Amino acid sequence: MVAARVNGVLRDLSHPVAESDIVEPVLASSDDGLAIIRHSCAHVLAQAVQDAFTEAHLGIGPPIKDGFYYDFQVARPFQPDDLALIETKMKAIIKSDQVFVRRVVADDEASIELKDEPFKLELIGLKGSAVDSAADAGVEVGAGELTIYDNVTRDGNLVWKDLCRGPHVPSTRYIPAFKLMRSAAAYWRGSEKNPQLQRIYGTAWDSKQLLAEYLEFLAEAERRDHRRIGKDLELFHLDPTAPGMPYWLPKGMRLLNNLLAFWRDEHEARGYEEISSPLINNKKLWETSGHWEHFREDMFILESDGENTFAVKPMNCPNAMVVYNLKTRSYRDLPLRLSDCDPLHRSERSGTLHGLLRVQRFQQDDAHIFVRPEQIADEYERIFDICERFYSIFGLGYRFRLGTRPEKFIGDVATWDEAEATLRRILDARTGGDYEQEEGGGAFYGPKIDILMSDVLGRSWQMGTIQLDVQLPRRFGCVYVDENGARQTPVVIHRVIYGSMERFLGIYIEHTGGAFPLWISPVQVIAIPVAQEHAGYADQVAAALRAAGVKVEVDARNETLGNRVRMAQQQKVPMMLVLGAREAEDGTVSVRRRGERTLTSLALDDFVAQVAQAVADRVDLPAFAS
C-alpha cells in the first residue's frame, strides 16, 4: 500500500483520519498507486538534477501514462552521460529512504521559500485561476491550499523540497524500479511564447519484473516503428519543408491505392456515391457550418484580395451539405450516402507531429449519410457491418466508445440529449452494453461513436468514428419533402472507417511490422534469377504476373543469390521466386513464401492464376495446389 483514499480523496498514508472516515487502501499495483509512485519518482529526479546541476531551475514534474517527466531550466541540453549520472544519484536517494513530508503553507510563505524558483513563483501567482487541476501543472497548485513536500533523511535533515499537491509514497524506498528514458526540449506550460526548458522522461513500476517487461515492450515497439519501417521499405518521406505532410513514394502509393481500391469497391457495393469538392473555401462556408467559431485555430487561413478570406478545408462536412442542397430531395431519396476521400489539412503545433500518426495533411475516408429519423438505427447497423468487414480483413479487433456533448457545442441541450439517447440505444442493442463512454468526447455538432482498435502490442488506437448530427443540416437549410408534402430536416451521419489513411497506415505498419498481407503489399512477388543468363526468364515470369494484375519486381542485380534473397526477406515481400536453368527449361517457378524456408515448384501458369486469384479475392498467401 502506497497511499489511501479517504472519503474518496487520495491522501498520503500519514494523513490523519477520523473514526467516521471511509478509508480505502491504494495498492502499488493499482492505476492510482502507479501514478503516485511515478510522481514521487519525478521528485527524486528533480532532487538528483539539482544536486548534479546546481544552477537548474524547476519546472513541473507530473506522472504521465507509463511514466513521468520533469522540466528544468539548465544551461545546456542534457546528454546521455548526464542521464546516466542523474540515474546513479536517483538510486542513491532511493536507497537512503528519504521521507516525503507534506506541509501546508501560505502563499507568501511559499513565495519566500521558493524565491529562487521563477517557474514555481509563477504557479503560486496563478493558484486557483489559470491552472487546470487536471492539467500537468495541476500537480503543483490547484484551487485549494498550497503545499510543499519536504524530502527528509532518516536522521531528520531536510535535503530538498518542492511545491506540490501530492500525494506521495511514504518514503523513497517505496519506489521499487525506475529507468530514465530520454530528454527533449519543451516549452514552459506548453506555449511556444514561453521559455524553452529541458524535459527528462522516465518510467517507474511497482516491480523490477514489470519494468523489464515494459522495456522489452518499448524495444519491440521501436522495432515496429512505422517511421523506421517506412524508410526501410521506401514507403513515405517526411521532409522539414512540409512538416506533417508526407511524401508518398512509389511503393507507398501502391499501398495507399490498394486501400482506396478496397474502400471504393466496398462502398459502391453498399450504395455509396463518391464526390469530390474544393480544397479551399470562402470563410462564409465555415461561418455557416460553425467551424469558423469552433475550429478556426486548427485551420490554415488564406487571404485573397484583401476582402475575401479563404481557408483550406479541415473537414468535408460543409461541402457535403452543399452537394445535398443542389436539388430538391424527397423522402424516397433517403438514405443518401455521399462518400469522399479528399485531402484535408489541419494546423498542428510542430511539437505534436509524429510520423503518419499526427499529420497536417491527410486523406480521410469520409461519408455523410442523409437519413430520416426513423432510418437512423438501420443505417448504424449497416455502418457496423462495414466496420466488421474492414477490420476483419486486416485482422484487427475493435470496440466502441460513446463520446457525449463537449463543453463547446452548437445547438440546444435537449436535442443533444435526444441524440445521445439514440446512440446509447443503438450501442446497447449492438454490444449488450459492452462499450466505453467518454464524457465531453463528442464533436461540436453532435455525439459520436469512436471505434477503438487494439494492435499486436496491446496498444489502443482510435480508428473510425460515427457521428450523429442534427445541427449542420439545420444550419445549411437542408430539407427533404416527406410523404405528406411537408419539408423536413434530415439527420446526417458522419462516418469514417479507416480514420485518416495516413494514421491507419502508420498504425497498420506497426501492427504488421511491414509484413503486409499479399493483396495489399506494394510488391507481391519478387523474381530472382540464379544467374545473369536466367534474367530473361525472370522478365518473362514478371510480364505474365503483371498482365494478371500482380505487382512484381525482378532483382537481377550483380549480387550473390544469397544477398538478393536476404534483401527480399528484409523487404518483407510475400513471395519470392528463385529462377534458374531448370525452371526456365520446364516453364516452372520455385516459390518461397514469406516466413518459410522451403521452395515449392509450380507450373508458371498455375502460379500466376493462383496468385492473381488470391489478390483479386483479397486474401493472404494461398496454399498452393500443385
* Closest-CA residue to 248 (of 230, 261, 262, 266): 230
CA gap 437, 546 in Å, rounded: 48
Task: Specify whether the CB–CB gap between 249 and 241 falls below 8 A.
Answer: no
- What gap in Å lies between CA 289 and CA 445, rounded to an integer? 9
Query: Quick one: DSSP state of residue 136?
Result: G
Q: Any known ligand binding at 317?
A: yes
- Cα–Cα distance measured from residue 415 to residue 402, given in angstroms and rounded to the nearest whole number: 17
For residues 323, 295, 497 and 397, what is the CA-based torsion angle, rounded to 10 degrees? -170
CA gap 545, 557 in Å, rounded:
20
C-alpha grid cell for residue 601?
515448384
* Residue partners of 506: CB distance under 8 A and separation at least 6: 226, 355, 356, 357
What amino acid is encoded at 506 in this protein? Answer: G
Please report, for residues 27, 338, 433, 525, 543, the alpha-carbon distance to residue 618 in angstroms, rounded to integers and kept in the order given.
49, 25, 33, 15, 21
Q: Do 233 and 572 meet the contact criterion of CB atoms below 8 Å apart?
A: yes
Please say whether the dihedral angle defined by the alpha carbons of residues 364, 368, 373 and 377, taken in this order, is positive or negative. negative
Q: Name the residue among 350, 345, 379, 348 with its Cα closest to residue 363.
A: 345
Residue 39 labelled as part of a binding site: no
- Residue 314 near residue 299, CB atoms below 8 Å: yes
- E strands along 27-83, which residues? 57-58, 63-64, 67-73
C-alpha cell at 361: 495533411
Q: Specify burial of residue 13 (Cβ count, 10 A radius: 0-12, 13-18, 19+).
A: middle
Q: For the stretch 115-134, what's the b/e string if a residue is b when 16 or more beta carbons lie within 10 angstroms of its beta carbon? A: eebebbebbbeebeeebeee
Dihedral, CA of residue 378, residue 381, residue 387 and residue 388, to nearest 10 = -140
Q: What is the 3-state secondary structure (H, E, C) of 348-405?
A: CCHHHCECCCECCEEEEEEEEEEECHHHHHHHHHHHHHHHHHHHHHCCCEEEEEEECC
Q: Is the peptide bond before 335 cis (omega within 30 degrees of 0)?
A: yes
Annotated binding residue 226: no
> What SS3 state is found at 343?
strand
Residues recognised as catalytic: 317, 346, 364, 366, 368, 448, 494
Mode of pairing for the β-strands spanning 67-73 and 196-205: antiparallel
* Binding-site annotation, residues for Zn(2+): 317, 368, 494
* Binding-site annotation, residues: 317, 368, 494
